[in-house]
C-alpha cells in the first residue's frame, strides 16, 4: 500500500483502511461520526475550509455536523439528452467499471430519459441521500448508514452482501459488486460481494470540493450545496423555483431535488 495518510490519532494509516472505517453503532452516534469524519477528513489536506469567508466544510479535527445537510439539485431543463458527462466523471472518480449495458454492472449514477405526451426529459438518478433512508433501516449489520450531514454511505468493512438494502431502495440506486474489480482508487475502497452507491463524493466534499459529477457538468444542470444554509446557491434556487423529488409520497425526504420536470 503506497497511499498513506494520517490516521485518527496522527499515525500513518493506509488510506483504504481509513476512509469508511466506522464503529457499528447507529448512524448518528457521535463517536461513529467522529471516527468517520476524522477518517474522511484526514485523507485530505487541511486548511481549505474557508470559501468567501464562510465556513463550508469543517476542520479536520471536528466531526461532520448536523447543521449541514448536503444536497443536490438537478435542473432537468438544462440537462442535455445524450450527454453522460456526469456518469463518466463519477466512473472516473470512483473507478467503477463496466461500459454499461450489463445488468450486473455497477451503476452509481445513470441517465434516465422520461417521456410523456408532450416532451422528453433527460436527467441523472443516483443515491438520493434520504433523511429516512430505507436502505439504512433494513441493513442488518448497520453497514448502511447516514452521516450527520446527510450523506448515505456503505461501510464496506461490515457489509455482508445480503442485498436487502437493494430490495429496500425505492430508487434502484445501489449496485452489488458481482465480479472481481481492478483499478481501485485509494480514496474509494470497493470489493466483490459488497453493495455500493453514490457517496456524494464525501471525500471531495470534506475538502471543500464539489462532487465530481457537479464539477464536470458543462450545462450547469447540477448544483451542490448545503440545504440548511439559506444563503447557499442550492437553497436560493430551491426557494426561487418549484422543485420535486423522486417518490415524495414515500416521505424519505431525499437530499436530491429535481427542477424542470
Partner 1 sequence: MSMHTTITYREIDGRSPGYFALLLGIGAFLALGLGAAYYMEHHGHHVTGMSNQIVWGVPHVFAVFLIIAASGALNVASIASVFERTLYKPLTRMSGLVALASLAGGLMVLVLDLGRPDRLIVAMTTYNFRSIFAWNVFLYTGLFVIIAFYLWSMMAQRQGARFYKSAALTAFLWRLALTTGTGSIFGFLVAREAYNSAVMAPLFIAMSFVFGKAIFMLILISTCHLTDRPLGRIVLTRLQRLMGIVLVATFYFVLLQHLTNLYMAERQPVEMFLLFGGNVYSFLFWVVQITLGTVLPLVLLLSPRLGGNVSAIVLASVLMIVGGLAQVYVIIIGGQAFPLALFPGFEVSSLAFDGQVGVYTPTLPEVLLGMGGVAMMLGVVVVAMAALRFLPISLADADVDPDHVHDMIDQEDEAVEEADAQLVPTRT
Binding-site string for partner 1 from residue 174 to residue 203, where x marks contact by CB under 8 A and - marks none: xxxxxxx-----------xxxx--------
- Contact between 138 and partner 1 by CB under 8 A: the answer reads yes
- And the C-alpha cell for 201? 463524493
Least separation, in Å, of the C-beta of 178 and partner 1? 4
- Contact between 162 and partner 1 by CB under 8 A: the answer reads yes
- And the C-alpha cell for 206? 470534506
- Between 43 and 177, whose beta carbon lies closer to partner 1? 177
- Contact between 163 and partner 1 by CB under 8 A: the answer reads yes
Alpha-carbon distance values, 184 to 27, 93, 146 (Å)? 26, 10, 23
Q: How many CB atoms lie within 10 A of CB 170?
A: 16
Binding-site string for partner 1 from residue 4 to residue 33, where x marks contact by CB under 8 A and - marks none: --------------------x-x-------
Number of residues this chain uses to bind partner 1 (CB under 8 A): 55
The rounded distance, in Å, linking the Cα atoms of 73 and 256 is 6
Alpha-carbon distance values, 163 to 95, 141, 193, 209, 235 (Å)? 21, 12, 9, 31, 34
The rounded distance, in Å, linking the Cα atoms of 175 and 194 is 9
Q: Which stretch binds partner 1 (CB under 8 A): 58-66, 104-112, 215-223, 226-234?
A: 104-112
3-class SS of residue 204? helix
Binding partner 1 by CB under 8 A: which of 38, 63, 71, 106? 106
- Contact between 170 and partner 1 by CB under 8 A: the answer reads yes
Among the listed residues 76, 70, 68, 69, the one whose alpha carbon sits nearest the alpha carbon of residue 243? 76
- Residues lying near partner 1 in the complex (CB under 8 A) are found at 24, 26, 100-101, 103-107, 110-116, 121, 125, 134, 136-142, 158-164, 166-172, 174-180, 192-195, 246-247, 250, 261
Amino acid at each position: 500500500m503506497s497511499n498513506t495518510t494520517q490516521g485518527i490519532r496522527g499515525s500513518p494509516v493506509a488510506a483504504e483502511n481509513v476512509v469508511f472505517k466506522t464503529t457499528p453503532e447507529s448512524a448518528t452516534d457521535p463517536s461513529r461520526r467522529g471516527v468517520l469524519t476524522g477518517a474522511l477528513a484526514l485523507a485530505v489536506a487541511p486548511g481549505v475550509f474557508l470559501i468567501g469567508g464562510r465556513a463550508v466544510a469543517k476542520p479536520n479535527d471536528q466531526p461532520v455536523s448536523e447543521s449541514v445537510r448536503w444536497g443536490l439539485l438537478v435542473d432537468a431543463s438544462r440537462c442535455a439528452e445524450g450527454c453522460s458527462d456526469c456518469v463518466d466523471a463519477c466512473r472516473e472518480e470512483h473507478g467503477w467499471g463496466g461500459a454499461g449495458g450489463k445488468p450486473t454492472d455497477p451503476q452509481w449514477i445513470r441517465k434516465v430519459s422520461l417521456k410523456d405526451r408532450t416532451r422528453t426529459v433527460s436527467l441523472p438518478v443516483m443515491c438520493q441521500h434520504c433523511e429516512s433512508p430505507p436502505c439504512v433501516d433494513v441493513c442488518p449489520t448497520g453497514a448502511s448508514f447516514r452521516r450527520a450531514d446527510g450523506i448515505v454511505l456503505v461501510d464496506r468493512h461490515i457489509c455482508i452482501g445480503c442485498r436487502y438494502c437493494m430490495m429496500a431502495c425505492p430508487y434502484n440506486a445501489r449496485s452489488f459488486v458481482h465480479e472481481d474489480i481492478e483499478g481501485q482508487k485509494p480514496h474509494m475502497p470497493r470489493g466483490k460481494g459488497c453493495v455500493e452507491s453514490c457517496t456524494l463524493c464525501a471525500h471531495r466534499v470534506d475538502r471543500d470540493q464539489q462532487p465530481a459529477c457537479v464539477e464536470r457538468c458543462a450545462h450547469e444542470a447540477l448544483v451542490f450545496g448545503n440545504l440548511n444554509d439559506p444563503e447557499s446557491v442550492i437553497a436560493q434556487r430551491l426557494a426561487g423555483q418549484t422543485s420535486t423529488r423522486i417518490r415524495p409520497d414515500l416521505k424519505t425526504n431525499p437530499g436530491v431535488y429535481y427542477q424542470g420536470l
